[in-house]
Structure 1
Amino acid sequence: MALKIEIAETKVILLNLLICVIIFYSVYYVVLCICFTAFRLQMLDGLAPFDFKTNPSWLNPNYLVLLVSLEITYFMSALLFVLVVEEWVWDYAITVTVIHIAITTAVKSEFPMMLHWWVALGSGLISMICVGQSLAYYLFKDNFIYPVLDYF
């Protein structure tokens, strides 16, 4: 059984990853600004995407803004990642999420241990993978990689 896959060069992968990270944080800040405006709140600071200590309450508007903006960011980023990486959305989504966790840890000088933050991050990642892969399959189904089963 042979799997015939052409592997992209490291430079192409790193360039795509850089583009995806830029897309993710650009979308995040735009959505944050829109959400803060919609909720009529003052923007806390430029570090809002890395805030995992906000009190998780449906009555706390700052928490709602951070939650809604994270989920919308993952959904919108999935749509844009498809244009950059085609069928490899899941791989780049997971890698960008790991980078986001690393940056969050570095910015806050503390590893996020808040369960609500992990749940929001996980649900956003799952939606990004599902939406991204579905859209990628729909747009690029002729280019998808299927294993070649020799001697089957």
Structure 2
Amino acid sequence: IMLVVVFYAVYYIVLSICFTAFRLEMLDGLAPFDFKTNPSWINPNYLVLLISLEITYFVCGLLFVLIVEEWVWDYAITVTAIHIIITSAVMSEFPLMPHWWTALGAALILMICGGQILAYCLFKNNLIYPVLDDF
């Protein structure tokens, strides 16, 4: 639960920064769950949602390392699944837009890779490696 709270706190902070940087009026509280925005490189609302999603996942991957130390990929997948469930509940339909799934998949890869690399760098002496002598 703590990681989900961290995820959404970071998401809203990054979303606010992106809206300010793009000089847009803040959307309603549904912005992190909006998968119906028209995907276009000239649509600033779409760009803000896309950029904030990617930055949030990368930053959370790094923050999750500080909280759980190992198994960042497991927590990343769990938080993403919870985000999909909450998104479906808030928007009252399951997201079927391919652009949303592509952005979410790229963000998940960023979270896992960034988190796992940082975890290895910070905790490489504490990681548990299987012994294959008797295998």
TM-score when scaled to structure 2?
0.97
Percent of aligned positions with the same letter in both sequences?
A: 77
Superposition pairs of residues 63-78 of structure 1, within 5 angstroms = 63-78=46-61
- Whether 1:142 and 2:125 are equivalent positions in the alignment is yes
Provide the aligned C-alpha RMSD in A: 0.8
CA distance in 2, matches of 1:148, 1:51: 46
Q: Match for residue 67 of structure 2? A: 84
Structure 1 residue 150 displacement after superposition: 4.3
1:48 matches 2:34: no
Equivalent residue letter for 1:130: C
Q: How does 1:112-127 map to 2 (within 5 A)?
A: 112-127=95-110
Match of 1:104 in 2: 87
Question: Is 1:39 the equivalent of 2:22?
Answer: yes
The residue type paired with residue 144 of structure 1 is L
Mapped to 2, the partners of 1:87 and 1:24 lie a distance apart of 17
Between the aligned partners of 1:113 and 1:88, the Cα distance in structure 2 is 29
In structure 2, the residue matched to 1:60 is: 43
Q: Which residue of 1 aligns with 2:76?
A: 93
**TM-score normalised to structure 1 length:** 0.87
By how many angstroms is 1:32 displaced?
0.4
Q: Write out the 4+ residue segments of structure 1 that deviate beyond 6 Å after TM superposition.
A: none
Number of residues of Structure 1 aligned to a counterpart in Structure 2 = 135
Uncovered stretches (5+) of structure 2, i.e. residues with no partner: none
Q: How far apart, CA to CA, are the structure 2 residues paired with 1:145 and 1:127?
A: 23
SS of 2:24's partner is coil
Larger Rg: 1
